[in-house]
Amino acid sequence: MKIAVLEVGHWHAPLARIGLEQAHAEVVAVSARDPAAASSWVERFGCRVYADAAALLARERVEFAFVFDRHRDLAATARAVLERGIACSIEKPGGMAAGEVASLVTLSRQRGVFASVPFVNRLSPLARGLRERIASGGLSGPSYASFVDLAGSPARYPAMGCAWMLDPALAGGGCLINLGVHFIDLFAFLTQRPARLAGATLSRAVHGGPMEDHARLLLDNDRGGAALVEIGYCYPDDDGRHQAYAVLGPGWFADARDDICHLTRGATRESFAAPLDAAPFYADYVVATLRAASRGEAPVATLEDLHAVMTIVDQAYARDRASA
């Protein structure tokens, strides 16, 4: 399968490259606004380099594309791929708002194109462990969840060559559109019910920048389930973060932190490894996605899943603007 990777200057692209290496993938071309970002790809894959995604798509005939880009440009780049009928993975958030993602949903359906979204926490040991136990009848379905993920300051993005992440016109928002989308999706994935927004509080108090650096969301669903999502650019060490997840259902409670999940059922307790850092899951996602595309199987997550998440993100930002 001939593969292209669009806009490898994105900070997630190196995480995807690990998976491409593990899959022994044939990466034939990459695009990069900054040529320096492509050097490691050329060294590893011997691929051709283009200054932008449009030039690559005009000249290359590829069978799969991993689509990265600035949030402002992401939907347009994804549309160009889908219009050519190229199977793809489209980096979240898929665009600046839910409406842009909706257009991608429509186009992918019309063209019958395989399109996956890297909601990589679906592949985490925590999610897999709970889903397997629920499927086997060992656990009832979850009804409540709490996800806390407080990462380092946004100053790390310029250091990674992605200064656009600090520009509202290019990024669309801060920690909510970047980090929060994962946990909105994870709540829906674990409960197998569409999530709804019940409340939202966004703050810019930590760094005083133009975009939110802390956010709390209250989610619910039509079965009485509820979740608290707290994300932020708050951790004092840019290379560290605070993460603590909790999920419970009737008769059981899962408490995950420090790379271990403690699962309590009545008087019994078991523990299993459950690293929460999502970075390693990107490689698993790439391998799983290429396998699914080649076999005609369902993707890890769909554009419809992304649209559902971005609808909630839009609603949270609307509430924030209304309260200003």
42: left (phi over 0), alpha (psi -120 to 50) or beta: alpha
C-alpha to C-alpha distance for 104 and 87, rounded to whole angstroms = 13
Angle, helices 181-191/303-323, rounded to nearest 10 degrees: 120
Q: Which of 118, 113, 39 is nearest to 74 (CA)?
A: 118
Left if phi > 0, otherwise alpha if psi is -120 to 50, otherwise beta: which for 151?
A: beta
Taking each helix axis as running N to C, give the angle between helix 281-295 and helix 13-22, from 0 to 180 degrees, rounded to the nearest 10: 60
Strands 115-116 and 226-235: unpaired
Q: How far is CA 250 from CA 136, 143, 144, 197, 215, in A?
A: 16, 8, 10, 23, 28
Domain ranges of the chain: 2-118+286-302, 125-277
**Cα dihedral sign for 133, 308, 69, 171?**
negative
CATH, range 125-277:
3.30.360.10
SS3 89: strand
Give the model confidence (pLDDT) of 251-294 as tens digits.
999 999 999 999 999 889 999 999 999 999 999 999 999 999 99
Rounded Cα distance, 299 and 113, in Å: 11
- CATH code of 2-118+286-302, in short, is 3.40.50.720
pLDDT tens string, the chain, 324 residues long: the values are 999 999 999 999 999 999 999 999 999 999 999 999 999 999 999 999 999 999 999 999 999 999 999 999 999 999 999 999 999 999 999 999 999 999 999 999 999 999 999 999 999 999 999 999 999 999 999 999 999 999 999 999 999 999 999 999 999 999 999 999 999 999 999 999 999 999 999 999 999 889 999 999 999 999 999 999 999 999 998 888 999 999 999 999 999 999 999 999 988 999 999 999 999 999 999 999 999 999 999 999 999 999 999 999 999 999 999 987
